[in-house]
Chain A
């Protein structure tokens, strides 16, 4: 069974204090690892897709990296508007006969709070 574990569950930073969020995963045949941002009461907003170990992607103050067992979301000099829950999800080819070949398995997320 695919599993995704995110840590820490919650992270409180001061504005400008850089840090990293972790996403550990267990999946057979990884098709892709996804990072989303979710604000309270809203749907997830797409950030990055990573497909293979060693891949890195950047967007403004965010940088995502991928290894064979985990992914990191690095936040450089965060601002209060970066406060949100960050979700990690993996996609693997389904082994059962039915179901979706594009199923995303989500972690529980990391609640990031950036204080001014």
Chain B
């Protein structure tokens, strides 16, 4: 139980294009989903938190208009990196928390984004 998937697992795009990453909870309903980014040999940094049906809450320093988050259902959240630039290249990981899991977040396998 508590499986989270992400798609795609890796993506290469040109500078200026937009990229959408999907995060799905496969066997539970995720009341809250989280988006993190991780640079090489660095820890995970929370970007934003989303609750189903409401607007995402962004961490300080994260551009809301650049990283669009949608949590339209209890099993799906999407992160869209708009007008991507090389500095947006990173490892993006989502996590999900459901009712009955207390405080535990379960993580997806991550999406590696490379912007050329």
In the bound complex, do residue A49 and residue B43 qualify as a contact, i.e. CB atoms below 8 Å apart? no
In the bound complex, do residue B110 and residue A43 qualify as a contact, i.e. CB atoms below 8 Å apart? yes
What 1/0 flags go to B82-114 for Cβ under 8 Å of A? 000000000101010100001111111110100
- Residue in chain B with minimal CB distance to A49: B104
Which chain B residues lie closer than 8 Å to A100 at the CB level? 32, 34, 46, 49, 57
**A residues contacting the other copy or chain, number (CB 8 A):** 24
In the bound complex, do residue B93 and residue A43 qualify as a contact, i.e. CB atoms below 8 Å apart? yes
Chain B residues 40-82 with CB under 8 Å of chain A are: 42-46, 49, 57, 59
Q: B19 near A: Cβ within 8 Å?
A: no
The answer to whether A46 and B106 touch (CB under 8 A), given A102-B49, A103-B46, is: yes
Q: A16 near B: Cβ within 8 Å?
A: no
Which chain B residues lie closer than 8 Å to A109 at the CB level? 43
In angstroms, how far is the closest chain B Cβ from the Cβ of A10? 10
In the bound complex, do residue A43 and residue B107 qualify as a contact, i.e. CB atoms below 8 Å apart? yes
The answer to whether A44 and B103 touch (CB under 8 A), given A102-B32, A108-B42, is: no
In the bound complex, do residue A106 and residue B106 qualify as a contact, i.e. CB atoms below 8 Å apart? no
Q: A116 near B: Cβ within 8 Å?
A: no
- Residue in chain B with minimal CB distance to A32: B103
In the bound complex, do residue A99 and residue B59 qualify as a contact, i.e. CB atoms below 8 Å apart? yes
The answer to whether A44 and B44 touch (CB under 8 A), given A49-B102, A98-B57, is: yes
Q: A59 near B: Cβ within 8 Å?
A: no
Q: Which 6 residue pairs spanning A and B have beta carbons closest together?
A: A100-B49, A43-B107, A106-B43, A32-B103, A43-B110, A44-B107
Q: Which B residues are closer than 8 A to A by beta carbons?
A: 2, 4, 6, 32, 34, 42-46, 49, 57, 59, 91, 93, 95, 97, 102-110, 112
